[in-house]
């Protein structure tokens, strides 16, 4: 239930990132609030522990890339909140797809002679692939 809402938040953040190259702090804050509400109401079965581990994995992983200059602060906050919504271990597969999408977009940008790109489209594509993969796994 929470993951579909997360995709909406990520798509809205993508629009902001493409237009202004910034993600308003309210988007990851509201997404984190959604994760807390879902955990408090027991709507997804992940629980508090999974939410906190997912948040930590998202924050630490994206924070490392922020420190290396590969991500912006808005990307880090959004990935951390996304980790809270997805929980553990789902954040790992989402990060895998996000990294693949980001690598593909980076390659396209380099071919086009650009060295800087908005990363939210890669996050949105990676999350979409993750959600489709999860949906396929459930229906098998």
CA separation for the pair 104, 125 (Å, rounded): 11
Best CA proximity match to 14, nearest among 2, 4, 3, 24: 24
Name residues whose C-beta falls within 8 Å of residue 18's C-beta, 6 or more positions apart in sequence.
Answer: 118, 120, 121
* Dist CA 113 CA 7 (whole Å): 30
- Taking only the tens place, the pLDDT of each residue in 17-37 is 999 999 999 999 999 999 999
* pLDDT tens profile 33-70: 999 999 999 888 788 999 999 999 999 999 999 999 98
Q: Where are the domains of the chain?
A: 2-139
What is the C-alpha to C-alpha distance for residues 114 and 117, in angstroms, rounded to an integer? 7
Sign of CA pseudo-dihedral 71, 24, 93, 49: positive
């Amino acid at each position: 239930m929470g993951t579909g809402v997360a995709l909406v938040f990520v798509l809205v953040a993508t629009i902001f990132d493409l237009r202004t190259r910034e993600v308003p702090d309210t988007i990851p804050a509201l997404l984190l609030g959604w994760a807390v509400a879902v955990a408090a109401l027991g709507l997804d079965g992940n629980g508090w522990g999974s939410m906190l581990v997912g948040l930590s994995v998202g924050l630490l992983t994206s924070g490392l890339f922020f420190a290396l200059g590969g991500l912006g602060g808005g990307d880090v906050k959004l990935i951390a909140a996304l980790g809270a919504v997805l929980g553990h271990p789902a954040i790992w597969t989402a990060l895998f797809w996000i990294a693949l999408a980001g690598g593909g977009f980076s390659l396209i940008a380099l071919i086009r002679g650009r060295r800087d790109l908005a990363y939210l489209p890669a996050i949105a594509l990676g999350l979409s692939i993750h959600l489709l993969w999860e949906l396929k796994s459930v229906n098998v």
